[in-house]
Amino acid sequence: MRTRNFARAWEISDRDLLEIAHPPKHTGPRHLQRIWRGEPLADRHVLVRCYHGLGDTIQFLRFMPAFGEIARSLTVWCQPELLLMVARTAGVDRAIPLHDGAPEVEFDIDIEIMEVPHAVRAGREQVEMRAPYLTLPEVAIPPLDSKRGLAVGLVWEVGNWDKRRAIPVRLLRQLADAEVTLYSLQRGAAPWELAEIGARDVSTPDIAALGHLIRQLDLLICVDTMVAHLAGALGCEAWVLLHADCDWRWPPSGSGSFWYPSLRLFHQSTPGDWESVMAEVCAALRTRARHREFSV
């Protein structure tokens, strides 16, 4: 999938279904469960389980329209934070909130959302994003009061799963050297972190409100986390900073992403070296700020 050889990816996945001894369904950690075992999905009532992260759900919602053409109905059992956005996604008939019990719906067959591209034999036309596919519910948020230059949002910290993705706060202060106003979208940022960066706190736990905030920005600069997927799915401009051994969904080099055309990628060349990445980002930001000044 990383090299866009999707036909080969599904050949490998088909072989895994036949040759690997899978444990019984719904046993073990959710993120390791292989729910779908290759059963026919056509004209069936399907439950889509969202057992990975918020960003994974956002990324793989792009396959719901194609899946909806195959199944009789699609019910998506998703993270409560995403419920309203999932319900608005083309191909989805119903969205219900995920919890630790059993789903309160009847279905013929179930599948984990990250298995859907294999199930629908997705090709480039389904994988490569052609237009924004995430629809936000209306949320009342105050407008950003950018007082100088570009309005730039920042997210620098991640959850506990892979701390290599996080950037030291001290390195972000240099972004203010460009003609920009910095806004923190980092949930739970400490006052000393905001002071260190020189950023205004506009963070919110509401993901729909966060999406509306991102739309108000000129640019989002973030690490590899849910916010990057949210910006990409909305078609908003964002720069994503990646560690040297980045996740499979990002290319190991280069600045473009076929998943999200509005994203620009910045890679570590040496593991742990965020200083070089930030130097590249700062240079690009100064150029971006100058272009805005000339275009105004």
Q: 226 and 165 in one domain?
A: yes
In this structure, how many other beta carbons lie within 10 angstroms of the beta carbon of residue 53? 16
Please check the confidence at residue 296 and state whether its pLDDT lies above 80: no
What mean pLDDT is predicted for residues 269-290?
Answer: 95
Domain count for the chain: 2
Burial class of residue 211 (count of CB atoms within 10 Å of its CB; 0-12, 13-18, 19+): buried
Burial class of residue 200 (count of CB atoms within 10 Å of its CB; 0-12, 13-18, 19+): middle
Q: Is residue 211 part of a domain?
A: yes
State how far the Cα of 132 lies from the Cα of 236, in Å rounded to an integer: 9
Q: 166 and 110 in one domain?
A: no
Q: 171 and 119 in one domain?
A: no
At residue 292, the pLDDT reads: 63
Residue 135 tokens, joined: 């629809």
Please check the confidence at residue 279 and state whether its pLDDT lies above 90: yes
Q: Is residue 1 part of a domain?
A: no
Please check the confidence at residue 293 and state whether its pLDDT lies above 70: no
Q: 185 and 118 in one domain?
A: no
* Domain termination site, one of 79, 96, 127: 127
Q: 67 and 194 in one domain?
A: no
* Alpha-carbon distances, residue 210 vs 54, 187, 195, 207, 222 (angstroms): 13, 10, 22, 5, 13
Q: 166 and 121 in one domain?
A: no
Q: 245 and 168 in one domain?
A: yes
Kind plus residue range of the DSSP H or E element containing 33 = none
Q: What is the mean pLDDT of the chain?
A: 93
Q: 270 and 229 in one domain?
A: yes
* Alpha-carbon distances, residue 132 vs 136, 151, 241, 262 (angstroms): 11, 21, 21, 10
Q: Is residue 144 part of a domain?
A: no
In this structure, how many other beta carbons lie within 10 angstroms of the beta carbon of residue 45? 16
Q: 213 and 114 in one domain?
A: no
Residue 269 tokens, joined: 């060349």
Say what percent of the chain tops pLDDT 90.
83
Please check the confidence at residue 294 and state whether its pLDDT lies above 80: no
* Domain termination site, one of 127, 159, 174: 127
State how far the Cα of 27 lies from the Cα of 21, in Å rounded to an integer: 14
Domain of 50 in residue numbering reads as 6-127
State how far the Cα of 80 lies from the Cα of 83, in Å rounded to an integer: 5
pLDDT band at 160 (very low <50, low <70, confident <90, very high): confident
Residue 43 CA to its chain's centroid (Å): 30
What mean pLDDT is predicted for residues 90-114?
Answer: 96
At residue 133, the pLDDT reads: 96
Please say whether the beta carbons of 182 and 293 come within 8 A: no
Q: 90 and 159 in one domain?
A: no
274: domain CATH number is 3.40.50.2000
Q: Is residue 134 part of a domain?
A: no
User: Nearest 5°: phi and psi at 83?
Assistant: -55, -50
Please check the confidence at residue 242 and state whether its pLDDT lies above 50: yes
Q: 175 and 60 in one domain?
A: no
Residue 20 tokens, joined: 């690997």
Query: Which stretch of 124-128, 132-136, 273-277 has the lowest confidence by average pLDDT?
Result: 124-128
State how far the Cα of 90 lies from the Cα of 170, in Å rounded to an integer: 42
Query: What confidence tens digit (pLDDT) does each residue in 38-64 have?
Result: 999 999 999 999 999 999 999 999 999
3-state DSSP assignment of residue 107? coil
Q: 229 and 111 in one domain?
A: no
